[in-house]
């Protein structure tokens, strides 16, 4: 069981992060101030911290320095609206393992979480996802159908197919797919999911992704 602490004061972003991380099998806890972040961020309790710099009460950079000073070694991914080079450098020199600016795409954040957990000896993530006739290699970013047909995917197609493969036989709504693949600033009225589902069907076969009318899409085994 991999435990992730989220220190972020925007409730909308917290809800988005918790939804996506829990769907990926992680256990999450959220705190909304710098003081709470510092109190909760203990290696014995969490495997990774996602840290906003602009926290009320105590700035995220201060939280990070205090954590490292007392010996906490958990990986820290800074997630912030501050995008200057000086902020990035200061965070990395202060002990952050990675740095992402908002707005962000969830699939990129999830990939960074997996890398940091792997590097720190955390839970091992599978590198190949399989469902029935379909296999997706997370390292080469290629899909294989029926063990003999390799399919090249764009970045969005890959992220969409990975999300479906992590939830085989489960109906995923357009909103869920939008939030996972296109990020928390997605337009709920967009038809981009339907467009990319059509792209995937052309490449892997129309029978592998089922439309569930009024609900969303399901990957069939």
Q: What is the pLDDT of residue 137?
A: 87
- Does the pLDDT value for residue 148 go beyond 90? no
Lowest mean pLDDT among 116-120, 130-134, 165-169: 116-120
Task: State the chain's mean pLDDT as an integer.
Answer: 88
Q: How do residues 185-217 score in pLDDT, each as one tens digit?
A: 667 778 899 999 999 999 999 999 999 998 999
Lowest mean pLDDT among 136-140, 159-163, 189-193: 136-140
Confidence of residue 32 (pLDDT cuts 50, 70, 90): very high
36 and 69 assigned to the same domain: yes
Confidence of residue 98 (pLDDT cuts 50, 70, 90): very high
Choosing from 63, 97, 119, the residue where a domain stops is: 119
CATH number of 158's domain? 1.10.10.10
Q: Which domain holds residue 207?
A: 128-219
154 and 199 assigned to the same domain: yes
105 and 10 assigned to the same domain: yes
User: Is-contact 220 207, C-beta < 8 A?
Assistant: yes
Distance CA 128, CA 169 (A): 18
Number of structural domains the chain divides into: 2
Beta bridge partners of 212: 216
34 and 114 assigned to the same domain: yes
Q: What is the mean pLDDT of residues 125-137?
A: 84
- Does the pLDDT value for residue 169 go beyond 80? yes
- Does the pLDDT value for residue 48 go beyond 90? yes
92 and 168 assigned to the same domain: no
Distance CA 46, CA 221 (A): 35
**Integer angstrom CA distances of residue 94 from 76, 89, 98, 155, 205:** 11, 8, 11, 32, 49
Distance CA 182, CA 187 (A): 9
112 and 161 assigned to the same domain: no
CATH number of 69's domain? 3.40.50.2300
């Amino acid at each position: 069981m991999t435990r992730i602490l989220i220190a972020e004061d925007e409730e909308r972003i917290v809800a988005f992060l918790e939804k996506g991380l829990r769907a990926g099998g992680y256990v999450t806890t959220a705190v909304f101030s710098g003081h709470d972040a510092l109190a909760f961020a203990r290696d014995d309790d969490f495997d990774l911290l996602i840290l906003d710099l602009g926290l009320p009460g105590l700035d995220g950079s201060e939280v990070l320095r205090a954590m490292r000073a007392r010996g906490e070694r958990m990986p820290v991914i800074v997630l912030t609206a501050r995008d200057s080079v000086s902020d990035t450098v200061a965070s990395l020199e202060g002990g952050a393992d990675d740095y992402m600016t908002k707005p962000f795409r969830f699939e990129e954040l999830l990939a960074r979480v997996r890398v940091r957990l792997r590097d720190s000896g955390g839970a091992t993530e599978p590198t190949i996802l399989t469902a029935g006739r379909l296999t997706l290699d997370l390292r080469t970013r290629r899909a294989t159908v029926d063990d003999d047909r390799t399919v090249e995917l764009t970045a969005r197609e890959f992220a969409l197919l990975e999300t479906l493969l992590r939830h085989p036989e489960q109906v995923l709504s357009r909103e869920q797919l939008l939030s996972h693949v296109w990020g928390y600033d997605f337009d709920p009225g967009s038809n981009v999911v339907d467009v990319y589902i059509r792209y995937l069907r052309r490449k892997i076969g129309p029978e592998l992704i089922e439309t569930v009318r009024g609900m969303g899409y399901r990957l069939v085994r």
